Amino acid sequence: MVTTYRRRSRIKPPTPPPASTPPPPPLPPSLHKQNPNSTTRRSLASSLHWELLPFPQSELSLPLTLPTGQSFRWRPTGPLQFTGVVGSHLISLAHVDTSPSRQVAFYLHNGTSVSSAHAALSDYFNFGISLSDLWQEFSAVDLRFKELSERFGGGARVMRQDPVECVFQFLCSSNNNIKRIEKMVSVLESYGSHLGSAGGFEFYQFPSIERLASIAETELRQAGFGYRAKYVVGTAKALQGKPGGGEKWLSSLRQMELGAVIDALCTLPGVGPKVATCIALFSLDQHHAVPVDTHVWKIATRYLMPELAGMSLTPKLCNRVAEAFVAKYGKYAGWAQNVLFIGELSSQKVPSAVDGTAPHAGKAVKRKRVKKDLPISGGIEEK
């Protein structure tokens, strides 16, 4: 359950710049009626500046992927439509209401290359991994997963975010609620280059490490970051001192074992094992990383390790839970855990993509934290 506060947040969104971006055109009715694989439909989408991604909803469900606690940079800007930034691309994504595949189309707001945006989206959403194959494997070994698979119909992907923006987003998540996290991330974004506006929101390219390191800690405190201000500035400066620079150093972690990745990330100010595990899963190709929070603990004691029910969650038990997930689901255990986590959330926060509804603005989901940042097993090997 997300923590709420009676005191009004002191964070103020950045002042919108004068420049404005026209909204994307609506998906026309004719686009809904054409055969999803027809040349006519593809041509029509292109002429209207909407481009189709060659993946059905079973491979990518926007409501089950974007507002479920992986990223805090996407905003709902229409029915089953979200807008956000991928690299330097300002993009709107929407489900095209075609039966039965319900593909995703994207609209590129700024003047970047459509082919480059397509490649960036493919990388961002890990499209090289077949979600359908994974869900079949998980369903074969777990009745609970099979139940959720039938309920959701697929599409809950784990994203491959830029490591820099992932680090700073999760620094803002510490002991926080979703609305304040989004506001903090919006403040950090405002130090980057403005890309445009959509649906009443302003969008920016995420600032560089150098730009973040130049922000005064007092400036962030005045924006309502509290103790997190020193972690944001401190981590930016720490990344500057890493071999080859922060971006190169973070990217290099994708080639390392999970234990070494967790240890490396925990050298950054404000990053503990729990936050490090989220960063590892959502940006560093550590597909078997399992962030253990109270939701995941309940899942484990209910379905995987009932003998632990009634016990208090400790660092040692966190390790056992993570290892149990890997033992059951293999090298993509983090993907299975993500779906099981979503299954614990209320339908108001994460509606089923099958019913065609989208969450209300500000209803994105934050992973419920345990009382303190507990260590996660860093020695899990891929099986």
- What's the N-to-C CA distance of the chain in angstroms? 33
B/e letters for 85-110, b = 16+ CB within 10 Å, e = fewer, are bbbbbbbbbbbbebeebbbbbbbbbb
User: What Rg, from alpha-carbon coordinates, does the chain have?
Assistant: 20
Q: 163-171 and 178-189 helices cross at what angle (nearest 10)?
A: 130
The closest of 369, 338, 340, 345 to 359, measured between CA atoms, is 345
- Tell me which amino acid residue 74 is: W
Of 179, 183, 274, 349, which one is the catalytic site residue?
274
Cis peptide preceding 100, ω within 30 of 0: yes
274 is catalytic: yes
The total of other beta-carbon atoms located within 10 Å of residue 172's CB is: 22
3-state secondary structure 322-354: HHHHHHHHHHHHHHHHHHHHHHCCCCCCCCCHH
The closest of 65, 98, 62, 64 to 80, measured between CA atoms, is 62
CB 144 within 8 A of CB 181: no
Residues facing residue 84 across a β-bridge = 91
Q: How far is CA 108 from CA 27, 44, 52, 72, in A?
A: 14, 15, 12, 20
- Tell me which amino acid residue 112 is: T
Q: Give the catalytic positions in this structure.
A: 274
